[in-house]
Amino acid sequence: MGRRRGVELYRAPFPLYALRVDPKTGLLIAAGGGGAAKTGIKNGVHFLQLEQINGCLSASLLYSHDTETRATMNLALAGDILAAGQDAQCQLLRFQVHQQKSTKAEKPGSKEQGPRKRKGAAPAEKKSGEEAHHEGAELRVKNLEAVQTDFSTDPLQKVVRFNPDNTLLATGGTDGHVRVWKVPSLEKVLDFKAHEGEIGDLTFGPDGKLVTVGWDFKASVWQKDQLVAQLHWQENGPTSSNTPYRYQACRFGKVPDQPGGLRLFTVQIPHKRLRPPSPCYLTAWDSSTFLSLRTRSCGHEVISCLSVSESGTFLGLGTVTGSVAIYIAFSLQRLYYVKEAHGIVVTDVTFLPEKGCGPQLLGPHETALFSVSVDSRCQLHLLPSRRSVPVWLLLLMCVGLIIVTILLLQSAFPGFL
């Protein structure tokens, strides 16, 4: 396999920590910042317009939403509502895109970076609620409700997720509590201690279940605030018990050949960095019994983030050393890998949606994965379509081979049949 390289789509004026893609509008939403420190590094949420230009996927800045002194560290998307984790609070944003009949005049001072630069991008600084105009598109962003979601001595929201019908969102942070909130009022409906120490990740599953992973080496399954199961990986895993592992990430994904079926995926990493380094592992779990289905090593680079494609076909991974990989979800086989695609830790990865604008943007490729990093760059990773022979053609070839064999035997040995 030749050395692959990701495509740099965009470079922000601040470190990037989270991104999402809106399937309806084709917007790539990237967020981050320098925090409250007076370093001159801004904080914001950037809305990028994805387009196919001459067979290449391009991104250009449509709107920059200023988050003042708060860097956005995690994002969740539900329709036109964004949930942004900013310090110890969750801020809801609503964005709306309107197509205009005429293009607005270019405003001075606008800048954008990426494979294709266009005139008319919005200025980088705008106040909340202002509008942006971009080649016939008008974007409005409005701050909705905000609420404090973490109450430790050094509070920080680590993760936010919407439930499947987008009526609730769950947050987790450094105090080890899971808190569930109504959308969009952010009225708290549930608050319970899930882990000793900080929560690393959480994900909604079937029948209202919630899976959480924490720095206490546990992965737990909850029905509301009741513990219904815990995952047991290392007891039956491929590693020795003297190498402590913790769960880094968890995601549910669809099962492609089972309508309505779900499968849970987790990443396990060594709790301490050893010499020589121990491998990290990917595990697939049954979503009903929460028993392990298969586990596979995913290399010695420490995994930092995990994403599952919309159909559940692919898994995307980022590492603390800046590498990016795509795996087949069913077999956990690696299909794509770029070593040190970013200069530092990959903070988030997400797939191009397979519905809405996704197929048009994807073009001839099988899937597309976006990655962001503290190096301020957003990169695109394209997986070429794998050539495969249809089953009917294989059967036809087998039948033809049998007929040819019989004819050859009949010619060589008259009276064979």
The answer to whether residue 112 scores a pLDDT higher than 90 is no
**pLDDT score, position 382:** 96
Predicted TM-score (pTM) of this structure: 0.85
The answer to whether residue 131 scores a pLDDT higher than 80 is no
Residues 328-356: what's their mean pLDDT?
A: 96
**pLDDT score, position 38:** 80
**pLDDT score, position 390:** 59
The answer to whether residue 285 scores a pLDDT higher than 50 is yes
- Provide, rounded to the nearest whole percent, the portion of the chain with pLDDT above 90: 72
**pLDDT score, position 8:** 95
Residue 399 or residue 57, greater confidence: 57
Q: What is the secondary structure of 318-337 as a DSSP string?
A: EETTS-EEEEETTT--EEEE
Instruction: Name the nearest CA neighbour of 319 among 276, 373, 274, 247.
Output: 373
The pair of three-digit structure tokens given for residue 79, joined into one six-digit string:
């329709």
Q: What is the secondary structure of 42-64 as a DSSP string?
A: -EEEEEEEEEEETTEEEEEEEEE
Least confident of 140-149, 287-296, 317-326, 404-413: 404-413
Band (pLDDT 50/70/90 cuts) for residue 136 is low
How big is the chain by its Cα radius of gyration, in Å?
24
Average pLDDT, the chain: 88
Please compute, for residue 181, the number of CA atoms within 13 A of its CA located in the half-sphere on the CB side: 25
Most confident of 158-167, 232-241, 400-409: 158-167
Q: Give the three-state DSSP class for 374.
A: coil
**pLDDT score, position 127:** 41
Beta strands in 279-345 (DSSP E): 281-286, 292-297, 303-308, 314-319, 324-328, 334-338
Instruction: Name the nearest CA neighbour of 31 among 59, 81, 73, 91.
Output: 73
**pLDDT score, position 323:** 97
Express each pLDDT in 180-233 by its tens digit.
999 999 999 999 999 999 999 999 999 999 999 999 999 999 999 999 999 998
Q: Buried (b) or exposed (e) across 268-279, using 16+ Cβ within 10 A?
A: bbbeeeeeeebb
Residue written as token pair 């450094």: 174
Q: Residue 293 and residue 287: Cα distance in Å, rounded?
A: 10
**pLDDT score, position 273:** 78
Residues 311-331: what's their mean pLDDT?
A: 97
Band (pLDDT 50/70/90 cuts) for residue 417 is low
The neighbour count for residue 194, using CB atoms within 10 Å, is 23
